[in-house]
């Protein structure tokens, strides 16, 4: 929970419309995407500071054609910084985000450290951008699978009132980090060469396999990742009665998560009505031509800002039910892009 002493940190207007921005965890997969996204979206960065662990300090990363030297993250790193985008893990966020907030810096945190804290907004700008206004120094980025799912689910909820969903995720290895990408590459090479498969990141071989476990198990038999959909979905959609039964699966895909969703709504819903709603939804492209073999796939959503939705059909097992398939780049909409979009809301 956020320390009560942070209550005084109220959203401050940025008199300087070219804020000093820091990226914490700059050398990680999401940190690098944050830097790229700031540049691609022409975010009005007055100055960029890159922060990481001591072992990464001294590395150089490019921003707008200029090499920027990565500095070691310390408790004194945030003086003069307006916005800090954090993607360095929950333990780092818990230690340093409150320190940053106390200096007047606004933290956008990509970890799970503050998501369910009642004093911290949990924001997907296409859904609840207005929640940015009541922050007290820290704003949380949602879980990547949750964000991608809700981009498609929330417009349907607004139109038809979602009661519950049953979902299965198909999550890329890059969600675990750079070492997981290398593990998949290495294992594919080992198998092709007829060599023994080596494992470091995952408890089982991931190449040519799927693992029905993402995150650690809870006493209920669900994993922490699986419960994020319900818990975070309720907060983001302002829908405390929302229910979600989810199975999260790691698949041998480098990038982009996909989710198969069966949703039950309060109101009757038709495929035609759902398509009309989804076609107009922000941050989402409708790709739904099964007769032409066109539907969302990780191969085509990777490195794209928008998520894609398709395979829309009536659910034959639920009342007022609808099935759909959504795919999106979890390093972007599930992390870096969403964080930069929140920063953009701070400047409005």
146-330 fold: Dihydrodipicolinate Reductase; domain 2 (3.30.360)
pLDDT at 320 over 50: yes
HSE-CB for 13 with a 13 A CA cutoff: 1
pLDDT value of position 1 = 53
Distance CA 275, CA 208 (A): 34
pLDDT at 3 over 90: no
Known catalytic residue at 157: no
Residue 268 burial by Cβ neighbours in a 10 Å radius (0-12, 13-18, 19+): exposed
Query: What does the pLDDT look like over 67-86, one tens digit per residue?
Result: 999 999 999 999 999 999 99
- Cβ atoms of 251 and 171 within 8 Å: the answer is yes
Choosing from 105, 157, 257, 307, the catalytic residue is 257
Q: What is the DSSP string of 130-163?
A: GGGGG-SSEEEPPPHHHHHHHHHHHHHHHHH-EE
What's the pLDDT band for 262 if we cut at 50, 70, 90?
A: very high
- Cβ atoms of 132 and 212 within 8 Å: the answer is no
- Cβ atoms of 96 and 90 within 8 Å: the answer is no
Pull the structure tokens for residue 64: 């707008």
- Cβ atoms of 102 and 79 within 8 Å: the answer is no
Choosing from 105, 135, 144, 157, the catalytic residue is 144
What ranges in 176-223 are assigned the alpha helix state H? 178-192
Question: What are the residue boundaries of the structural domains of the chain, listed by start?
Answer: 4-114, 146-330
pLDDT, average across residues 36-61: 97
Helix, strand, coil % (nearest 5) of the chain?
35, 25, 40
Query: What does the pLDDT look like over 127-137, one tens digit per residue?
Result: 999 999 999 99
* Higher per-residue pLDDT: 178 or 227: 227
Known catalytic residue at 257: yes
What's the pLDDT band for 7 if we cut at 50, 70, 90?
A: very low
- Cβ atoms of 302 and 276 within 8 Å: the answer is no
Could you tell me the pTM of the whole model? 0.93
pLDDT, average across residues 297-312: 98
pLDDT value of position 4 = 40
Number of C-beta neighbours around residue 167 at 10 A:
20
| CATH class, range 4-114 | alpha beta
Distance CA 348, CA 334 (A): 22
């Amino acid at each position: 929970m956020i320390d009560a002493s942070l209550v005084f940190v109220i959203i401050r207007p940025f008199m300087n419309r070219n804020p000093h921005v820091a990226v914490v965890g700059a050398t990680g997969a999401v940190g690098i995407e944050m830097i790229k996204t700031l540049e691609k979206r022409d975010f009005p960065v007055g100055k960029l500071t890159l922060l990481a662990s001591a072992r990464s300090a001294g590395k150089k990363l490019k921003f707008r054609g200029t090499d920027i030297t990565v500095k070691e993250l310390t408790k004194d790193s945030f003086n003069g910084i307006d916005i800090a985008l954090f993607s360095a893990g929950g333990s780092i966020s818990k230690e340093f985000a409150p320190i940053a907030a106390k200096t007047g810096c606004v933290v956008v945190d990509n970890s799970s450290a503050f998501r369910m804290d009642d004093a911290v907004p949990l924001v997907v700008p296409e859904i609840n951008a207005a929640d940015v206004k009541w922050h007290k120094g820290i704003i949380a980025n949602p879980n990547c699978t949750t964000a991608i799912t809700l981009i498609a689910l929330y417009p349907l909820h607004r139109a038809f009132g979602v009661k519950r969903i049953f979902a299965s995720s198909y999550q890329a290895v890059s969600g675990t980090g750079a070492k997981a990408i290398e593990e998949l590459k290495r294992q594919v090479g080992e198998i092709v060469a007829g060599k023994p498969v080596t494992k470091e990141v995952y408890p089982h071989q991931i190449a040519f396999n799927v693992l029905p476990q993402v995150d650690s198990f809870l006493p209920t038999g669900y994993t922490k990742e699986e419960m994020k959909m319900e818990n975070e979905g309720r907060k983001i959609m302002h829908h405390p009665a929302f229910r979600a039964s989810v199975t999260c699966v790691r698949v041998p895909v480098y990038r982009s998560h996909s989710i198969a969703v069966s949703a039950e709504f309060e109101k009757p819903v038709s495929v035609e009505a759902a398509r009309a709603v989804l076609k107009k939804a922000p941050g989402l492209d409708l790709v739904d031509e099964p007769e032409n073999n066109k539907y969302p796939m990780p191969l085509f959503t990777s490195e794209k800002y928008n998520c894609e939705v398709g395979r829309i059909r009536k659910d034959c097992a639920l009342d007022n039910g609808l099935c759909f398939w959504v795919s999106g780049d979890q390093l972007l909409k599930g992390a870096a892009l969403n964080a930069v979009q929140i920063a953009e809301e701070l400047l409005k």
